[in-house]
Amino acid sequence: MINDPQVLYKLMVLYLLQQANLPISNEQISEFFLTTEYTNYMSLQQGVSELLDAHLIKVTTVRGSQRYEITREGEETLSFFGSDIPDAIKEDIHAFLKKHKIRLRNEMGITADYRKTGSTDYEVTCEVREGKVQLLKLLLSVPSEEQARIICDRWQASSQEIYSHIMHTLLQDE
């Protein structure tokens, strides 16, 4: 039995990230904790910060959006202490993920970012992921930051159509 609520919150974050099986945003983590009223925002952020410091979770930033995922060390920690999370809380996590799975997948499975590669060129990276599996990674070189930004903005709406077109074209019989 866990006596320290902050330890429980950290284990819950680890369990949520493990069960999501894809990187999720701080906003999505917060949505779970705040809608279920398990803790307040400040306590949650303290726990997330401590998990980062302990290398039990990692964060990546894509176009200003931070996404969290569990590390190997976090998986090991959860294997030792995950059974201390009450079943009712695990059920709440599963219900949250089931209810929001399509939205989570769409928000986190389709990404686009760009970076400057030369004096005037930009490289745009567009991805489609299914969980931790990368289905498509598209690298484009464009001459301006404006074009890079436009591609990133449009990728979210067009990625499924583009992916389908590429797969159909590559797999069609002659």
pTM for the whole structure: 0.65
Q: Is the pLDDT of residue 106 over 60?
A: no
Q: What is the mean pLDDT of residues 52-76?
A: 87
* Nearest one of 37, 31, 53, 28 to 5, comparing CA atoms: 37
Categorize the per-residue pLDDT at 163 as very low, low, confident or very high, splitting at 50, 70 and 90: confident
- What is the distance between the alpha carbons of residues 14 and 79, in angstroms, rounded to a whole number? 10
pLDDT confidence of residue 165: 86
Reported as a pLDDT band with limits 50, 70 and 90, residue 156 is confident
Residues of the chain with CATH 1.10.10.10: 5-108
Which residue has tokens 């959006």?
65
**pLDDT for position 77:** 93
- What is the per-residue pLDDT for 139? 93
Chain segment 22-41, per-residue pLDDT in tens: 788 888 899 899 889 988 88
Q: What is the pLDDT, as a whole number, of residue 76?
A: 95
Asked whether residue 50 carries a pLDDT value surpassing 90, the answer given is yes
List the one residue out of 103, 116, 108 whose CA is nearest residue 69. 108
pLDDT confidence tier of residue 79, bands split at 50, 70 and 90: very high
Mean pLDDT of the residues in the chain: 86
Amino acid at 27: E
CB contact at 8 A, 155 and 110: yes
Residue 60's pLDDT band, with cuts at 50, 70 and 90, is confident
Report, in angstroms and rounded to the nearest whole number, the Rg of the chain calculated over CA atoms: 19
Average pLDDT over residues 150-164: 85
Question: What's residue 174's pLDDT?
Answer: 61
**pLDDT grade, residue 127 (50/70/90)?**
confident
**Whole-number pLDDT of residue 15:** 94
Q: Which CATH architecture has domain 5-108?
A: Orthogonal Bundle (1.10)
